[in-house]
Chain A
Amino acid sequence: DTEVTQTPKHLVMGMTNKKSLKCEQHMGHRAMYWYKQKAKKPPELMFVYSYEKLSINESVPSRFSPECPNSSLLNLHLHALQPEDSALYLCASSQDRGRITPDSGNTIYFGEGSWLTVV
């Protein structure tokens, strides 16, 4: 069972709406991620937060706005989306610098995802 919790599981929104996806983990991880997955495609990285600071933005359009209020929470704010943004949005977390040993790697754990439909 995943220890990364995402809400809501399903979201339908209009192109003029503002909504947010939420993600929470209590594993003490200091890196958190957003991935986007279209049907029959592999997950694609969107954002990486390390110690609550945005460290990687994979050239994601500004209509997607990530936020990391604290080390356990990660939000993805959505505004003025397009129908082609409909996808499964996956949150993930992992340990970060200072708590990794050569034997442990840096395993990333995923949530079950939020299914987004833009109409």
Chain B
Amino acid sequence: DAKTTQPPSMDCAEGRAANLPCNHSTISGNEYVYWYRQIHSQGPQYIIHGLKNNETNEMASLIITEDRKSSTLILPHATLRDTAVYYCISAGIQGAQKLVFGQGTRLTINP
């Protein structure tokens, strides 16, 4: 079973920041938080991951709470092409991974 919970859907206006929450209250100390997204009919695309510090890359920012029980993915200036299902996953760092996908959040960017 997935170890994270996300809202099933969200809407955001184009050009605004999209903030996607994720709850991972049972995350263990050696597990990372990964974010992937899946645009219709394509394979999941890696976005970002983090352990306990906030992270930023060219796609997004990841804010992890101090107790690590939740996180927020931020798309700073959402575009129509960001419409996708976003998955938050917790997984360890050692060895071959067993990523377990939850239902994700269907994010719709509106013009």
Number of chain B residues close to chain A: CB under 8 A: 28
Q: Contacts A50-B95, A90-B43, A100-B94 hold; do A45 and B49 have CB atoms under 8 A apart? A: no
CB distance from A86 to the nearest CB of B (A): 14
Partner of B43, one of A2, A102, A107: A2
- Nearest-Cβ distance from residue A30 to partner chain B, whole angstroms: 8
User: Are A31 and B51 within 8 A (Cβ)?
Assistant: no
A-chain residues with CB within 8 Å of residue B43 when the two chains form the complex: 2, 4, 90, 92, 110-113
Contacting pair B49 A94 (CB below 8 A): no
A42: min CB distance to chain B, Å: 4
Interface size on A (CB < 8 Å)?
A: 31
Which residues 76-90 of A sit at the B interface, judged by CB distance below 8 A? 88, 90
In chain B, positions 69-111 with a C-beta closer than 8 Å to chain A are 85, 87, 91-104
Cα(A4)–Cα(B45), bound, Å: 11
In the complex, chain A residues whose CB is within 8 Å of the CB of B95: 31, 50, 96-97, 106
On chain A, the residues within 8 Å of B49 by CB distance are 105, 107
Question: Quick check: is A108 within 8 A (CB to CB) of the other chain?
Answer: yes
The smallest beta-carbon distance between A96 and chain B, in angstroms, is: 5
Point out the residues of chain A lying under 8 angstroms from B93, CB to CB: 100, 102, 104-106
| A90 / chain B contacts, CB cutoff of 8 Å | 43-44
Q: Would B100 and A105 count as touching, CB distance under 8 A? A: no
Q: How far is the CA of A100 from the CA of B92 in the complex (A)?
A: 11
- The answer to whether A74 has its CB under 8 Å from any CB of chain B is no
The answer on a CB contact under 8 Å between B102 and A56 is no
Whether A48 lies near B51 (C-beta < 8 A) is no
